[in-house]
Structure 1
Amino acid sequence: MNLHWLHKFAVTVTLVVTVISVISMEQLWGEEWDILLLSFQATGPFLHLGALAAITLLAWLVAGQFARAEKNSFQAVLLLTYLTVLTALYLVPLSITSPCLMEKSNLGPKPAIIGHQGAPMVRSVPELCRQAPMLAPENTLMSFQKAIEQAASGLYTDVTISHDGVPFLMHDNTLRRTTDVEKLFPERVGQDSSMFNWTDLQALNAGQWFLKDDPFWTVSSLSEADWALAGNQSVCTLSEVLQLAENSSKSILFNVRRPPPEHPHRESWINVTLHTVLQSGVQQQHVMWTPDTDRQLVRQKAPGFQQTSTVKKSVKILQEEGIVRLNLRYNQASAQEIRDSREGNVSLTLFTVSEPWLYSVLWCSGVQSVTSDAPHILRKLLYPIWIMPPDEYKLLWITADVISFIVIIGVFVLQKWRLGSIRSYNPEQIMLSAAVRRSSREVNIMKEKLIFSEVNNGLGSAEELSLYSANGYEGYTNEAITPRDQQHNARMQTNYAQKTL
């Protein structure tokens, strides 16, 4: 309440900005908070060792304060607090769990990598590629051709149905980000992409934005031929990518977005998509079908499809529904659920996994496949970042605790030896040492008290006191003593002599 008004204003602004930032982060990254819990599975053992090292180093400061403290109550509180934190750190490994704390012989095969927004480079395991947006504009024919050139075993895309019933590839609800709709149809920029006729969609350029925005900083690495090809890409139909998958014997997984209520194919979107797939001639076993709507009808017309669910269900229910694949976000499946899906012969794919540490944790958990924006990074992992047998970790944990305890005891003993004797020093001596370079009347008085203290402790006679004055009492200071100080000193000496007599 006593702050200056300017400080109050600054504090208020800081508080408001902080609250707005937290709310914004929660809205934008609300689903990402779960990654903190997973990160502890990957870093828990190492965070414990780091915290143990930090608390051991902190013992030097704690022991110093303990040795200097004058009050026993302060010493007790300080020591109790430190020992509580130390004990908690010594025992915290009892609560640390990680899939990578396992026997190396129990490690399963490397999860298949599904390219989500990057050209897949993995050749040792089967994978699916959504597109190759690092090398070409996303959801264009060029992006899938690039994926096939890099030995992808499958293609993964998003499908929307046009106003006149043509399934085409588009991830966003609008055309603003990946086409030049602002140039050709400025009045329809915010309109749902499914409300465009195929004739209008064909007129759009779906590649110039990629060269302009360079979303992955890869445009400069394109050859002149690829540069020209990327700039001339158009919106791709589902039929085109199905034909490409059939010609290259690749599997295809796609998500179909249901049109809005005012769309003429709002109720027939499943039939329109299914008809397009069957007409393409692609082998049914290469199609991974995800929509839950009319799944029984789809199973009757296309019994060879790999029925894939994007909704989390128990393995028992999936088996009853004939679901053979499950596609979930990485935080939706626990270690037990991963084991259950593997034992129930349900192929589990988790998305989107782009960090090596997260990929390693899921590998240790037994995940069969992941979707990634960085398959070119994950492919380099020939083994999880770390894996440790439980007995080995237990030995490491106990050894670290014992070493820490011994070091802390040694530090407390050393600090007590170094600083413990300070408490027997005369307080005037300590103050004089701190103020040796200061020039004031109070400093001179402290010097006199020091002399009298030393006289009481050893000198014990007025003659020796006068000897101090005769030999230059002024030598204790770095400047001349004023006449007023000389009078004060003489008065003090006279008083002392009378007391001794």
Structure 2
Amino acid sequence: MAVFCGCCASLVTGCYGCHGRDHSEKKEPTKLTERLWFIFVMLVCFTSMTNMFFWLSAANDSAYFNRDLAEMTGMWWRYYIFFMALSCALCCYAILLLFFAFLHIACRQQLNLHGVHKVGIVLDLSLSVAMLVFPCTVLNFTSLWHYVPQLLKFVGPFAHLIGVIIMTSLSWFVAGGMGTLQRRGVPVRDVALWYFIGLVGLYISPVFIQSPCLLKYDQLPAKPLLYAHRGAEELAPENTPIAFEIALDLYDVYGIDTDVRISYDGVPYIMHDVTLGRTTNVADMFPDRYDEKSDSFTLEELKQLNAGSWFIKINPYGTTDQLTEDEIILFRKQKIPTLHETLTLILERNKTMLFDVWPPTDDTHPYFVEWLNVTLEAILDTGVDLDDVDYWSSNNGTHYTFSINTSDKRRVLTTYNDVDFSHIRNNATLNISTNVWTVQEEWMLSLFWCAGTTSISTSSCQTLQSVKAPAWQLSPIHYLVMWILFDVVSCIWVLIIFIIQISRKKRRLQQHGEEPPERYNYRHFMALEELSKNQKPVIL
């Protein structure tokens, strides 16, 4: 057994301090500087975990993150995958170091972080902070941060239970290696005191957890209807006829959610971006007009452009490898559709359409004033009854949103996915349908499903259409029972561990003929220890 413990101590010391067995056998107290490094490792671990949690939660907008960064750098690449993988690597490194530090404490070994790890942990902190600041300062992508509280609402109940398990497991290390309950010094210096403060805070944290998935089982609303955002844009070139057909025919979505602009000759057409460079070959067809606004082109000029080849070339979602040769040829032939063509395609399938109409960007545009009337005329020309058309101005007045052929005839309120869940339920009581855009991840669909959202716009219709139930749903009563049960068991276990460890320490002191000091004074103790080392032996 002693050999096994020695091998474990050597392994732990080697991984943390890069020292061998001789160093692992030392029983000297840890230096103050190394204790500070231990605290620094805990700080870096928390920061890197926050960083990883941020990038995992931001997966919902990974495509938009890649797009914006590609426009900035001029090169398309899956940037989000790199950032997420790096955040996970930094977090794993910090957690492993902290884990080996606790093993040192369990083996009662001197902490001595190696210089390589000191450089690595400083680099870890620097990269983690930089990755947290980067989306806001460089990309002005502050919207990514709202995913963190949303994901916390989704994983909150389970994070509480996991946190209780981890803190309960740490009780052995706190009570044995760092526990100093038997010392009678200044309590703020006692690690055990801070441990119990954190543990009590964790016990009562469910009071602040408000997840829409904590819902009675018989109160689960109907699954939100799915609007295909720009068509099946993860499977086909966005805002093209083939993308609309795939979403409507293969995945039976409720409708299409897209954007409409007005050409220079007054024809509404389907296009999201202000310019044409990202999704067309305008650089090849009109090299002198590459940077011009798309609404400065006539319909005839727009129809000369190819709107599908970019998808095959860039492969933004990693889905083109599954295409057949015939599908690749079909994608490469896609053109920019008009509103009339798209609406006709949708009405033939008895589906609905939700779209934003953007006014011309230049006041010299021939239809700068009449753009809304032109849009209404194009809709009515398809045979749509005026009673089936609902439109309203956006909150900031920049564009109008149209809803056509909705089944329930209720007003539709479109909102970004950082909306408060209570607003969705309030809208339902006012007979207002809420459409949330854009929802790509299953966990986010689960949140809005339990919150009672009427419909969502998604680019992942092929994934979300197959979801039959929320990822999890738990009755508040059941969660209350789990909460109390875990807390009670944890509290009993921690008290037992501390009693055992304190008893072991007292027995160990008695076996060596020592008595625990009446009052613990760290400086006085170290002074006596230093004096005993320097005292010369007396020769009789």
State how 1:418-497 maps to structure 2 within 5 Å: 418-424=504-510, 492=539, 495=540
Corresponding residue of 1:139: 239
Structure 2 residue 355 is the aligned partner of structure 1 residue 263:
no
1:323 deviates by 7.2
Q: Which stretch of the first structure deviates more once superposed, 15-24 or 78-87? A: 15-24
Paired with 1:95 and 1:292, the residues of 2 have a C-alpha distance of: 34
Q: Structure 1 pair 328/183, CA: closer, same or farther in 2 (3 Å)?
A: same
Corresponding residue of 2:134: 24
Structure 2 residue 421 is the aligned partner of structure 1 residue 335:
yes
Corresponding residue of 2:447: 361
Contact kept, 8 Å, 1:207 with 1:230, in 2: the verdict is yes
In structure 2, the residue corresponding to 1:73 is in which secondary structure? coil
Instruction: Note the alpha carbon deviations across 1:443-462, whole angstroms, 9 max, x for none.
Output: xxx99x9xxxxxxxxxxxxx
Amino acid at match of 1:113: L
1:344 to 421, 430, 437: 430
Amino acid at match of 1:325: V
Structure 2, unpaired ranges of 5+:
1-118, 515-531
1:47 deviates by 0.9
Paired with 1:223 and 1:285, the residues of 2 have a C-alpha distance of: 43
Q: Structure 1 pair 326/78, CA: closer, same or farther in 2 (3 Å)?
A: same
Corresponding residue of 2:344: 243
Corresponding residue of 1:461: none
Contact kept, 8 Å, 1:211 with 1:230, in 2: the verdict is yes
1:135 deviates by 3.2
In structure 2, the residue corresponding to 1:155 is in which secondary structure? strand
Structure 1, unpaired ranges of 5+:
1-8, 117-129, 309-321, 429-445, 450-487, 496-501
Amino acid at match of 1:397: W
CA RMSD in angstroms comes to: 3.5
Instruction: Note the alpha carbon deviations across 1:157-211, whole angstroms, 9 max, x for none.
Output: 2111111112111111110011101111112111111111222212111111111
Look at both structures and tell me which one has the larger radius of gyration over its CA atoms.
Answer: 1
State how 1:76-475 maps to structure 2 within 5 Å: 77-116=190-229, 130-150=230-250, 151-260=252-361, 261-284=363-386, 287-291=389-393, 324-332=411-419, 334-424=420-510
Paired with 2:196 and 2:121, the residues of 1 have a C-alpha distance of: 36
Contact kept, 8 Å, 2:312 with 2:331, in 1: the verdict is yes
Paired with 2:243 and 2:279, the residues of 1 have a C-alpha distance of: 13
Contact kept, 8 Å, 1:246 with 1:283, in 2: the verdict is no
Instruction: Note the alpha carbon deviations across 1:325-372, whole angstroms, 9 max, x for none.
Output: 11111212x232212211111111111111212211211111111112
In structure 2, the residue corresponding to 1:350 is in which secondary structure? strand
Q: Structure 1 pair 328/215, CA: closer, same or farther in 2 (3 Å)?
A: same
In structure 2, the residue corresponding to 1:265 is in which secondary structure? coil
1:60 to 151, 172, 180: 172
- Fraction of identical pairs, as percent: 32
Paired with 2:364 and 2:120, the residues of 1 have a C-alpha distance of: 51
Contact kept, 8 Å, 2:226 with 2:253, in 1: the verdict is no
Amino acid at match of 1:223: T
Scaled by the length of structure 2, the TM-score of the pair is 0.66
Instruction: Note the alpha carbon deviations across 1:409-437, whole angstroms, 9 max, x for none.
Output: 12112212333334457699xxxxxxxxx
Scaled by the length of structure 1, the TM-score of the pair is 0.71
Instruction: Note the alpha carbon deviations across 1:365-400, whole angstroms, 9 max, x for none.
Output: 111111122222223332222212222111111111
Corresponding residue of 2:158: 46
Q: Structure 1 pair 12/363, CA: closer, same or farther in 2 (3 Å)?
A: closer
1:18 deviates by 7.3
Paired with 2:340 and 2:412, the residues of 1 have a C-alpha distance of: 23
Q: Which stretch of the first structure deviates more once superposed, 93-102 or 149-158? A: 149-158
Paired with 1:107 and 1:142, the residues of 2 have a C-alpha distance of: 35
Q: Structure 1 pair 13/402, CA: closer, same or farther in 2 (3 Å)?
A: closer
Paired with 2:179 and 2:324, the residues of 1 have a C-alpha distance of: 71
Paired with 1:397 and 1:16, the residues of 2 have a C-alpha distance of: 37
Q: Structure 1 pair 213/340, CA: closer, same or farther in 2 (3 Å)?
A: same
Contact kept, 8 Å, 2:308 with 2:334, in 1: the verdict is yes
Q: Structure 1 pair 15/94, CA: closer, same or farther in 2 (3 Å)?
A: closer
Amino acid at match of 2:373: N
1:231 deviates by 0.8
Contact kept, 8 Å, 1:329 with 1:350, in 2: the verdict is yes
